[in-house]
């Protein structure tokens, strides 16, 4: 499965992940760009791996007609990252009851507990 497209920037290589190609869902990166297409990108991350600089790039925050940065303060990128971090799997967490109140029902007189 293809996760994105590689871009070349003056002797550096970077990856545009499919989630950063468009604000719409992209299933196949090849539907967005072909090999050899020239596109405008913004560097959104970098890391050193095996003595090589790896760049993370985004097309969706750059106007593809003019090259203008559509997110100069990285607000949209921060929101995307926050959405990814907010998801949690609550199914594995046990439910614990913190408060127990012993009581007697006023209608029937039965003893019980409110949880």
pLDDT value of residue 109: 80
pLDDT at 69 over 90: yes
How far lies 94's CA from each of 17, 89, 91, 97, in Å?
A: 36, 12, 8, 10
Average pLDDT over residues 72-85: 84
DSSP state of 66: T
Integer Cα distance of 29 and 34 in angstroms: 9
pLDDT at 99 over 80: no
Integer Cα distance of 45 and 43 in angstroms: 6
> 5-50: per-residue pLDDT in tens?
666 667 777 889 988 998 888 888 888 888 888 899 999 999 888 8
pLDDT value of residue 65: 93
pLDDT bucket at 87, cuts 50 / 70 / 90: low
Q: Give the alpha-carbon dihedral of 57, 58, 62, 63, to 10 degrees.
A: 110
């Amino acid at each position: 499965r293809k996760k994105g497209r590689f871009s070349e920037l003056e002797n550096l290589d970077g990856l545009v992940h499919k989630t950063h190609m468009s604000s719409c869902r992209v299933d196949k990166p090849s539907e967005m760009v072909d090999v050899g297409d020239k596109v405008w990108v913004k560097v959104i991350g970098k890391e050193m791996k095996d003595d090589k600089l790896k760049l993370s790039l985004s097309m969706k925050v750059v106007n593809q007609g003019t090259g203008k940065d559509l997110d100069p303060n990285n607000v949209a990128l921060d929101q995307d990252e926050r959405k990814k971090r907010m998801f949690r799997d609550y199914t594995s967490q046990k439910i614990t009851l913190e408060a127990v109140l012993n009581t007697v029902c006023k209608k029937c007189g039965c003893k019980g507990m409110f949880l």
